[in-house]
Chain A
Amino acid sequence: MRELEDELIERVAEALRQPVHLDAALDVRVMAEVRTRPLRRSNWFLRSRTIRVTPLGALALAAGVAALVLGTAFAALRLRPAPATVSAASAVPFVLVAPEARSVALVGDFNDWDTAATPLRATGLSGAWVVTVPLPPGRYRYAFVIDGMRWLPDPGAPRAPDDDFGTPNSVLTVGT
């Protein structure tokens, strides 16, 4: 009986050892990505990798769909890293998925929490709003303001530990 059972496991293993078909372009994608990131350099990575996506439409979207939106945004970004900048400030893009918003603003330590200073631009794609902000190295608290009145932290970023004024913020570290 045991021999028969082990024979079955061996047949399972044999079937699983057969080669699997993988996308031939996988190697190309890997190499395209690593070519943008030479080793042993200090400034190669950060920049446009910092993407902040907030699924405001979570009320309307199922959680799985929201996750898919997040995943898609990140996947697209992975394949298209922007060239690194050499200036002291890093261009940090912020993205918010808010299909029903009429306006979105970014507020934080970097703009004196001025709700008029950094509006996001609607892309017309899946309700995404974007803005890119040059930020010197440092640690920043920030939030989004929807339609001038609704404050929203970034669910894809760490939540700031103190919530002094009743609406939570997110934190972002920008490196040198």
Chain B
Amino acid sequence: MSSLPAYLPARAPREAQPTRHVEPNRHIEPNRHIEIVATRVQRRRRPRIVYAIVAVVGLFVILMAQLLLSIALSDGAYQISSLQSQQKNLARDKQTLTESLNVLQSPQNLAAQATTLGMVMNNSGSGWLRLSDGSVLKSPTAAGTSSATDPNGQALVTNVLLTPAVTAQQDARMSTPAAGNPATATAGSGNADVASGSIPAPNTH
């Protein structure tokens, strides 16, 4: 581009001369001695192509970066949104489990399950030792056949949350001995046999 003005005067004679422009340089050769040559300073001041490239590329990079940033940001929004919904679901899971745990650990359920397993409440059987002189203050007594309370006898202290579905859920999770244990066969049915004293033999493995 910088040499273009130098050729322009040379083109005029080309029209007059119908020769093929295979060797035009030979005819314009004599004119070249008056060509204006840029000084070193001028040449240095001329805009260089590298700057243009840097500017364009820089602009491109900035645009790309902005685009990527915006993609990343919106991707983050989707991630936040998905994590939030995951958190919500987990919170619901936790609440559901806590809710059923609280019901299952209610005294009514524990007492009923224990009675069903053939346990009796022996609230006066504990013994007492005095360590200082080794004396026995109260001898322990084994549990009898009757329980202090009979939680399976009647639903006296009611809990409507203890539905058969809830207790069934619990029974399914308990690793109950398979066959031959009469206590487990009547889970939740308020078996009178258990309360009146026929303690089933444990199914020892």
A is bound by B = no
A residues sitting closer than 8 Å to B (CB atoms) are none
